[in-house]
Amino acid sequence: MTESLVEQMNAALATTIPIAGKMGVRVVEAGRGYAVTSVPAEGNGNHFGVIYAGVQFTVAEVLGGIIALVTFDTAKYFPLVKNLDISYRAMANTDLRGEARIDEETIARIEAEAAERGKSDFTVAATVTDANGVVVATSTGHYQLRALVR
């Protein structure tokens, strides 16, 4: 993904999900079937000095939408989240990185189903790590790719 596309995605993220922008959630990398996000620790703490759980949720949840936007035809489809389960594994007090991937077989299935039915459900497993590489959260998001109504 080019640097200008990353900046475009970050600008879009800040306008379409303003609270994510206020948290400082950023797209770091994205390409067919994968996305990486980050969020700073500064300004995102809670009452006992670690990163607020909602911030960790956000840095994981946006990954499914980002993957869909860079993988599928945005002139035909849009993504939405149906459910997200998250497990907080460790307390975090450094900047965070979220990462997720879907494989080519899943991409092909989603494309075929969406073309045939106008929508396709898919799952994205994400990992959130701190600056030391410690896994602080894992999530499983259930998303849907939907055809644009014309």
Identify the structural domains of the chain with CATH numbers, from first to last.
Answer: 3-147 (3.10.129.10)
Q: How is residue 72 annotated by DSSP?
A: S
- Confidence class for position 45, pLDDT limits 50, 70, 90: very high
Average pLDDT, the chain: 94
Q: Is pLDDT at 134 greater than 70 in this prediction?
A: yes
Task: Give the pLDDT of residue 6.
Answer: 85
Q: Are the beta carbons of 58 and 20 closer than 8 angstroms?
A: yes
Average pLDDT over residues 70-92: 96
Look up the pTM and report it. Answer: 0.93
Q: How confident is the model at residue 8 (pLDDT cuts 50, 70, 90)?
A: confident
Give the residues across from 86 on adjacent strands: 139
Helices (H), the chain: 3-16, 18-23, 53-71, 104-117
What pLDDT sits at residue 2? 62
Write down the pLDDT at residue 44: 93
Cα separation, 35 vs 32, in Å, equals 8
Write down the pLDDT at residue 41.
96
Which amino acid, one-letter code, is at 38? Answer: S
Does residue 61 surpass a pLDDT of 90?
Answer: yes
pLDDT tens per residue across span 97-111: 999 999 999 999 999
Please, which pLDDT band fits residue 150 given cuts at 50, 70 and 90?
low
44: amino acid identity, one letter: N
Phi then psi dihedrals of residue 94, to 5 deg = -125, 175
